[in-house]
Amino acid sequence: EVILEVKQLGKTYESAQGKVVALRDVNFSIHRRELVCVIGPSGCGKSTLIRMLAGLEPHTSGEVLLDGKPVDGPGSDRGMVFQGYTLFPWLTVKKNVMFGPEMNNHGKLEAERNALMWLDLVGLSKFADAYPHQLSGGMKQRVAIARALVNQPRILLMDEPFGALDAQTRIKMQTHLLDIWKNIDVTILFITHDLDEAIFLADRILVLKAHPGEVQEFIEVPVPRP
């Protein structure tokens, strides 16, 4: 079952300095329950790609189909986790996770129950009433993952989510993410510039070539599972 289809996708930025072709003719698809990593050097268009998939940035050519429907804006069918901790500092951990469902008009009690369930899944039930500044970096990213999953998105889009963590925490988080992924029905697109991370996590690695402006053919590398 194909979840995400990217066809001839392109992006040209127009700025005062002129046009920058960030991506051209990108094609790939992701199947249900796959964990796909996209790697490539800085400036090759990884963030542009994931922002377009998230609907946060319009594309200038081609199309993105999620469950066969064109993506043309943000939606709760996609969960996002970024590198920076995007938690609201004035809200408790639980309120941070509830923020999405409350906004989507679920009942408050149901939203709270849901939030606690996802916090349990990321191992942070005990910290439901803590504030973000009381948590370590890894714990904050676990909250961000819970918040991204609480709406049960079709796909989880992760942009260098562990890039700001120290090496040891990063490895713990990779293992933790794999545990979550094995336990729930979720498809993950994970961007990283760390090949070791991609090899550890991915079913399939898409390598984005280095030269913006050229045809951005993905080289697909299957990763054998031990």
Which residues of the chain form contacts with ligand ADP (CB under 6 A)? 13, 15, 20, 22, 40, 42-48, 123-124, 126, 136-139, 169, 172, 212
The nearest distance, CB 82 to ligand ADP, in angstroms, is: 12
Q: What angle, rounded to 10 degrees, do the helices at 137-149 and 167-183 form?
A: 20
What are the DSSP calls for 52-117, one per residue? HHHTSS--SEEEEEETTEE--S--TTEEEE-SS----TTS-HHHHHHHHHHHTT--HHHHHHHHHH
Nearer to ligand ADP, 49 or 102 (CB): 49
Nearer to ligand ADP, 103 or 215 (CB): 215
The nearest distance, CB 5 to ligand ADP, in angstroms, is: 20
Chain centroid, CA 109 distance in Å:
27
CB 20 within 8 A of CB 44: no
The nearest distance, CB 67 to ligand ADP, in angstroms, is: 25
Alpha-carbon span 163 to 137, nearest angstrom: 11
Whose CB is nearest to ligand ADP? 138
The nearest distance, CB 51 to ligand ADP, in angstroms, is: 8
Nearer to ligand ADP, 65 or 171 (CB): 171
